[in-house]
Amino acid sequence: MSDIKTFPKSGLDNMHIANGMVRLDFKADEAGEKKDLRLIMTPQGYLQTFEMFQRVLDKLEADGIIQRVQPQK
């Protein structure tokens, strides 16, 4: 695991589909950071990633770390 590069980011700036690939553009996290980061993945890879994010979200909610906000009607 020590060979994995780490890129601190505060969230997504944009997400879109181009040429059949899902592209995620991340925001710079540190003051003065000019590096942009774009993650490009296949639709299947995006689906697998989304499912992983969903499991983490469910765990955060179950542990009381976050609460989902219900949409207002």
What is the average pLDDT across 9-30? 88
> 47, 41, 52: which is closest to 17 by C-alpha?
41
Q: What percent of the chain has pLDDT over 70?
A: 89
What confidence tens digit (pLDDT) does each residue in 3-12 have?
Answer: 888 777 778 8
Q: Roughly how many angstroms between the first and final C-alpha of the chain, as a whole number? A: 46
Q: Residue 65: which pLDDT band, with cuts at 50, 70 and 90?
A: very high
SS3 40: strand
Name the token pair of 24: 């995620």
The answer on pLDDT for 1 being more than 60 is no
Number of H helices, E strands in the chain: 1, 3
pTM value?
0.72
Partner residues linked to 26 by β-bridges:
12, 37
